[in-house]
Amino acid sequence: MAKSKSKSKKVKAAPPKAEADVETTASKDESKGPLDKSKPSPASTPAPNSFETINPPLSEGVLAAIRHYGFNSMTPVQAASIPLFLTNKDVCVQAVTGSGKTLAFLIPMVEMILRRTVLLTKNQVGGLVISPTRELARQTYDVAKELCKFASLPEPLLLVGGGGGHRPVTADLDSFAKKGSDIVIGTPGRIDDILTRYSDLHMNELECLILDEADVLLDMGFEVALTSILSKLPKMRRTGLFSATRSGTSAAGASAKSVKKLMARAGLRNPVMINVAIAAAGKDDSSNDREEEIAPQEQATPSSLTNYYVMSPLDEKLSRLVAFLRQHKDVKVIVFFLTCACVEYYGLVLKELLRSDTYYIETLHGKLNPKRREKSMERFRNGGGDEENEAKPRKAKGSILLCTDVAARGLDVPDIEWTIQFDAPTDPSQYIHRVGRSARAGKFGSSLIFLTPKEDSFIDFLKIRKVPIKEIGSNERCSPSATYIERSKEFQIEPKKKKDDEEPENTENKVEIPNVLVKIRSLILQDRDLLEKGTKAYTSYIRAYKEHQCAFIFRFASLDLGVLATSFSLLRLPKMPELRDKYDKLNFVSAGPEIDIHAIKFKDKIREKARQKRLAAELAAGGKNAKQIKAEQRKAKKAQKEKERRQDAIAKGRNPNKKRGRQAQMYDEWDELAKEERLHKKLRQGKITKEKYRELMYGDKAKDDVDDLLDSDIDC
């Protein structure tokens, strides 16, 4: 069979209107999360680019939904793709993130089902949408559900898998058998499983197939599942491939290659290629010298999005992030991290550091239970509130979502003002998708990426890829112009010395950024969960950093592993191949030898009880590990005694560096024993209370340990 030539159509989007105009002209799509239940706009004469002007015209039910939610005019991608879809054309659409792609394929899908001369039976499916992630599938489902309600169609069926915590396949099929659904939305794995093992869903009358984020479907390894699904679908159907635009020659080439491969597999017949370009708004004259002119037609990000970067040493990044978040208390912010373990660790840390602030913090990553992922997204969308329980007050004004790249593609949460990349992505093309969570559907937004001085070449790399970016202004607390309070002496690192010829800084009106790492170390000493999560985050970060696709910019050899450990507030360096033969050479000072790592407890009493049981069993079994643990405990005990001796010597006015003679030490020991005997006698006679005895005898020891000792003392 001869190859059919595909048509190509390029659409240029107009620059966004002024802020006041954006409020009155509701050219919005699913960015209203999913269909914002705002008041319907008053009826007026159809604008030239309104949905009423589509030919063939849309049904009254679909138009009613559009009017109800205030979508007065189409976005460029909708204006280009909806009429083509409705005239039986296959389409392959690439458009910048947040441009309204979801309605661009859902409206034609609903229309095709409504225009059928023969209605679908209960078990027949008319539209199928395949999304790469559960979150994106659920988001599409929420929009489709509203459209179907106005169009008097059955509620769509959502098919997403993901292991424990999610409802089984049989529950999905029972729901379908009872109600029936004309539209099915889901992830490739779950859809393939149901179509392969069950015969409940009849695809023989399928009108429309949509592959959402088409390039990602192949990149995420769904090729086998997609091939299996496509083999079970009828050939006579309309097919649409939708994906976000990728910037740069290599990224765009890789994306095009993936899409072409999928086009061949999906059997698109003479597809129309639609590529929506972005026209940039006027350039800000106040930008710094590093910012360069980028041609409007080549800009890779929406012109309503302002991209910033900040250069920061590794061990100052977290302090600057906390300062930035405290400055932006009343907005929605997404913070991207490199790994799932980093999200878990910083989730605990930021909840402690921002406890006094009016923030609601959620975490999201690929290793979370599916139900937890859905709940996290729901709470973040609602700003910390509970949509199902209106009586539950929303305590937080601002919301922060800490996540990995699982939230970088397709997810649509309304009114996100800032996207922050605490770590640069391992795949540079993900930068576009990360920042695309803000400034959606013509709204204005901002993004910020933290880079170390050794990673500054990434700025030039982004500009080559047509991403306009500039250094963050001095009005932001995280900017380099803010004064960073030097590392605490607890870290035993010398403060930075100024050059002899350097003039003293004018500290008037300077913003100070306190170092939060000391606070984190104190938190770690109180909760073993932080200790373990911090170590895991550190090791996962190192291994992910080694996998950077831009290894010429993010060079592992240039990564200071000691300062990195300090940035994670580690007490000790973990044993791992990447640190072999480097422990004595790294710029890292561990916690004092008097700190017994094995004595740090979980705050969760159940977890701590289980840990103590495991530790006791390990010590009883002997072996190399048990010997090492005992040696570390003896060393910590000895160091603690030495520390107490020095403190006592200083308190008594003696030289702490001078060792006392053997006879003097014996006298001290006899005095200590006599003191203990006197206190014990007073306790037995009831002359002092347990609390007073504890205070005089044991000082600041943990209460539980002291109670155990007290009980044993009294029994004696």
d(CA 410, CA 134): 11
- Cβ atoms of residues 206 and 183 within 8 Å: no
- Cβ atoms of residues 209 and 231 within 8 Å: no
pLDDT at 439 over 50: yes
Tell me the per-residue pLDDT of 591-616, one tens digit each, with 9 for 90 and over. Answer: 877 788 888 999 999 999 998 888 88
* pLDDT value of position 389: 44
Work out how many domains the chain is built from and give that number: 3
Does 90 lie in the same domain as 233? yes
Does 168 lie in the same domain as 83? yes
For the chain, the straight-line distance linking the first and the last C-alpha, in angstroms and rounded, comes to 96
Does 219 lie in the same domain as 93? yes
**Regarding predicted confidence, which is higher, 706 or 309?**
309
CB within 8 A of 274, min separation 6: which ones? 9, 10, 11, 77, 80, 81, 84, 91, 92, 93, 94, 95
pLDDT at 530 over 90: yes
pLDDT at 690 over 90: no
CA nearest to 519, candidates 487, 482, 553, 481: 487
625 occurs within a structural domain: no
Residue 292: CB atoms within 10 A of its CB come to: 13
CATH number for the domain including 326? 3.40.50.300
- Mean pLDDT, range 32-38, rounded to an integer: 47
Q: What three-state secondary structure class fits 199?
A: coil
Does 365 lie in the same domain as 262? no
d(CA 239, CA 105): 10
Q: What three-state secondary structure class fits 296?
A: helix
Going by DSSP bridges, is the β-strand pair 445-451/305-311 parallel, antiparallel, or unpaired?
parallel
128 occurs within a structural domain: yes
Does 338 lie in the same domain as 451? yes
Q: Which helix (H) or strand (E) holds 383?
A: none
Lowest mean pLDDT among 260-269, 288-297, 306-315, 333-342: 288-297
- Mean pLDDT, range 282-305, rounded to an integer: 55
pLDDT at 35 over 70: no
**Regarding predicted confidence, which is higher, 121 or 506?**
121
Lowest mean pLDDT among 72-76, 520-524, 582-586, 626-630: 626-630
415 occurs within a structural domain: yes
**Tokens encoding 605:** 């009493």
* pLDDT value of position 507: 42
- Mean pLDDT, range 258-270, rounded to an integer: 72
CA 76, distance to chain mean position in Å, is 29
- Mean pLDDT, range 625-653, rounded to an integer: 74
pLDDT at 262 over 80: no
52 occurs within a structural domain: no
Out of 22-31, 263-272, 611-620, the most confident range is: 611-620
Confidence of residue 660 (pLDDT cuts 50, 70, 90): low
pLDDT at 705 over 80: no
Tell me the per-residue pLDDT of 226-252, one tens digit each, with 9 for 90 and over. Answer: 999 999 999 889 999 998 765 444 445
Lowest mean pLDDT among 10-14, 142-146, 163-167, 416-420: 10-14
Confidence of residue 699 (pLDDT cuts 50, 70, 90): low
Does 439 lie in the same domain as 306? yes
Confidence of residue 486 (pLDDT cuts 50, 70, 90): low
Whose tokens are 């990728």? That residue is: 246
- Sheet containing strand 416-421, strands side by side: 359-364, 398-403, 332-336, 416-421, 445-451, 305-311, 470-471
| SS3 readout for 418-439 | EEEECCCCCCCCHHHHHHCCCC
CA distances from 264 to 6, 230, 241, 245, 268 (A): 12, 11, 11, 20, 7
d(CA 311, CA 290): 13
CA nearest to 447, candidates 475, 416, 405: 416
pLDDT at 553 over 60: yes
Does 112 lie in the same domain as 227? yes
Last residue within a domain, chosen from 459, 487, 515 = 487
Q: Average per-residue pLDDT in the chain? A: 78
CB within 8 A of 149, min separation 6: which ones? 65, 155
Amino acid at 268: L
Does 344 lie in the same domain as 465? yes
CA nearest to 75, candidates 357, 395, 441, 472: 441
Which residues is 398 bridged to in the sheet?
359
Does 310 lie in the same domain as 265? no
* pLDDT value of position 395: 54
- Mean pLDDT, range 695-715, rounded to an integer: 55
Q: Which helix (H) or strand (E) holds 278?
A: strand 272-278
Tell me the per-residue pLDDT of 188-198, one tens digit each, with 9 for 90 and over. Answer: 999 999 999 99
| SS3 readout for 102-154 | HHHHHHHHHHHHHCCCCCCCCCECCEEEECCCHHHHHHHHHHHHHHHHHCCCC
Does 328 lie in the same domain as 270? no
* pLDDT value of position 661: 63
Last residue within a domain, chosen from 433, 463, 487 = 487
Does 222 lie in the same domain as 122? yes
Q: What three-state secondary structure class fits 344?
A: helix
CA nearest to 535, candidates 560, 559, 571, 561: 571
612 occurs within a structural domain: no
639 occurs within a structural domain: no
Last residue within a domain, chosen from 487, 519, 536 = 487
CA nearest to 299, candidates 468, 148, 436: 468
d(CA 356, CA 352): 8
**For the chain, what percent of residues have pLDDT higher than 90?**
32
577 occurs within a structural domain: no
683 occurs within a structural domain: yes
- Mean pLDDT, range 656-674, rounded to an integer: 70
Lowest mean pLDDT among 69-78, 377-386, 435-444: 377-386
- Mean pLDDT, range 654-674, rounded to an integer: 70
Q: What is the CA radius of gyration of the chain?
A: 31
Does 349 lie in the same domain as 269? no
Range(s) of the domain holding residue 703: 676-716
